[in-house]
Amino acid sequence: MAPSQNNTDLPLDLTLKINEIFFSIQGETSRAGLPTIFIRLTGCPLRCVYCDTEYAFHEGEQMTLAEILEKISAYKVKHVTVTGGEPLAQKNCRPLLTMLCDQNYDVSLETSGALDIQDIDNRIARIVDLKTPASGEVDKNLYDNIQYLTANDQVKFVICDREDYEWSKDKLNEYQLNDRCEVLFSGSYGEIQASQLADWILNDQLPVRLQIQLHKYLWGDVPGK
């Protein structure tokens, strides 16, 4: 079982490379619509063809845990999403997650599913993105992660076309994912109509949540939104 910690002695001088910290409406997952603090970490070992955060591959500045905590304290909400890039590519992401929980933030982690999630603090809601064939990175999926999923987590499939949909449906059934956690089917923005994906889900009566990336419907592809 993943550790649940309350580490008041975490070294707050640990550093991470941070691309941006911003305040916006959560556009995805079961938390869609909630005002949320986003902490975007720099770097990612994947190169998905539809990536909308390529600016986070390299750009950023080093910040200590103490500096991150001070910056987010300016906001009056308790919902925090740690994202990337691929946040788990930085080893100090785990202490960051624990620190946020210790400060009574309600924390979610957006991760590609290509890196091990088993030792992440179990207070974190892990949003694991299983890469579909059209992403170009399907071979990077670490399926061992599935055994560690709990009802507090979610699995996301970004679907570009019918092939992706059928592949995602097969993985849903193969691993009985809906028995482990909530499953999200998200249409790739600009590649597939949400109404088309909705029709497929209804026709097959799948036990999944349709996700529409609310933030993009509000602001389009605007960084920091």
* pLDDT of residue 129 exceeding 70: yes
pLDDT the model gives residue 223: 63
For residue 149, the model assigns a pLDDT of 96
**pLDDT value, residue 44:** 96
pLDDT over 80 (residue 21): yes
At residue 59, does pLDDT exceed 60? yes
pLDDT tens, position by position, 168-197: 999 999 999 999 999 999 999 889 999 999
Q: Give the mean pLDDT of 141-152.
A: 96
Does pLDDT of 41 surpass 70? yes
Q: Out of 34-38, 62-66, 167-171, 212-216, which region has the weakest mean confidence (pLDDT)? A: 212-216
Sort residue 43 into left (φ over 0), alpha (ψ -120 to 50) or beta. Answer: left
pLDDT tens, residue by residue, 79-112? 999 999 999 999 999 999 999 999 999 999 999 9
Average pLDDT, the chain: 93
CA-to-CA distance for 90 and 113, rounded, in angstroms?
Answer: 14
For residue 4, the model assigns a pLDDT of 44
* Residue 137 clears pLDDT 60, i.e. is over it: yes
pLDDT beyond 70 at 1: no
Burial 42-63 (b: 16+ CB within 10 A, else e): bbbebebeebebebbbeebeeb
Domain assignments of the chain as residue spans, ordered by start: 15-44+52-219
The reported pLDDT for the residue numbered 10 is 80
Over range 27-46, report the average pLDDT.
Answer: 95
**Whether the predicted pLDDT of 152 surpasses 70:** yes
Q: Residue 203: which pLDDT band, with cuts at 50, 70 and 90?
A: very high
CB 56 within 8 A of CB 42: yes
What's the mean pLDDT in 156-160? 97
Q: Which CATH number fits domain 15-44+52-219: 3.40.50.300, 3.40.30.10, 3.40.50.2000, 3.20.20.70?
A: 3.20.20.70
Give the angle subtended at the CA of 125 by the CAs of 150 and 220, to the nearest 5°: 130
Q: Residue 137 has which token pair?
A: 């990175």
Question: What is the rounded CA–CA span in Å between residue 190 and residue 193?
Answer: 7
pLDDT of 3 > 60? The answer is: no
CB contact at 8 A, 43 and 51: no
Task: State residue 42's pLDDT score.
Answer: 97
- DSSP state for residue 91 in the 8-state scheme: T
SS (H, E, C) 22-45: EEEECCCCCCCCCEEEEEEECCCC
pLDDT at 154: 98
Q: Burial level of 197, CB count in 10 A (0-12/13-18/19+)?
A: buried
CA–CA distance, 162 with 152 (Å, rounded to integer): 29
Predicted pLDDT at 225? 62
Q: Average of pLDDT values for 150-164? A: 97
